[in-house]
């Protein structure tokens, strides 16, 4: 009995909380303006765009602006690439070959051979 009551309660509130209209709450002109601002001003974040829209008398929350900015901007990789790291630190990198060998009495020996030259070819 309690399980049925819980399921009915969940169903009621799930149905009650759904939006009945599929019309976006933000005007199409505002969405176009957000997208245009995001593409033309790459350094502006959602807060800056929100501030500019407030100057025009348009009230939109930061989360809504982020949603429409995400559609326009492609994510850019952060940090440096591996090739850049190697090019910058090639002089300080020590390269060696590491080898494991068995001797006459089957003991394990480890040998390290430093490389005489270390070439980094990065594009």
Q: How far apart are the C-alpha atoms of 75 and 113, rounded to whole Å? A: 43
Query: In DSSP terms, which residues pair with 104 in a beta bridge?
Result: none
Residues 72, 86 within the same domain: no
What total number of domains does the chain contain?
Answer: 2
Note the pLDDT of residue 34.
Answer: 95
Domain residue limits at 33: 24-76
Q: Does the residue 87 lie in any domain?
A: yes
Note the pLDDT of residue 17.
Answer: 78
Residues 91, 72 within the same domain: no
**What's the helix, strand, coil split of the chain in %, to 5?**
50, 10, 40
Looking at residues 81-108, what average pLDDT do you find?
Answer: 84
Residues 51, 86 within the same domain: no
Q: Does the residue 105 lie in any domain?
A: yes
Q: Does the residue 120 lie in any domain?
A: no
Q: Does the residue 3 lie in any domain?
A: no
Looking at residues 69-76, what average pLDDT do you find?
Answer: 84
């Amino acid at each position: 009995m309690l399980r049925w009551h819980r399921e009915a309660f969940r169903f009621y509130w799930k149905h009650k909380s759904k939006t009945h209209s599929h019309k976006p709450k933000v005007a199409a002109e505002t969405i176009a303006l957000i997208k245009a601002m995001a593409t033309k001003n790459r350094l502006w974040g959602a807060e800056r765009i929100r501030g500019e829209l407030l100057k025009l008398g348009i009230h939109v929350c930061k989360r809504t602006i982020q949603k429409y900015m995400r559609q326009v901007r492609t994510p850019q990789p952060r940090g440096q690439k591996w090739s850049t790291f190697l090019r910058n630190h090639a002089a300080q990198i020590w390269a060696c070959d590491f080898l494991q060998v068995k001797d006459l009495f089957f003991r394990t020996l480890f040998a390290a051979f430093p490389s005489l030259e270390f070439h980094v070819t990065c594009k």
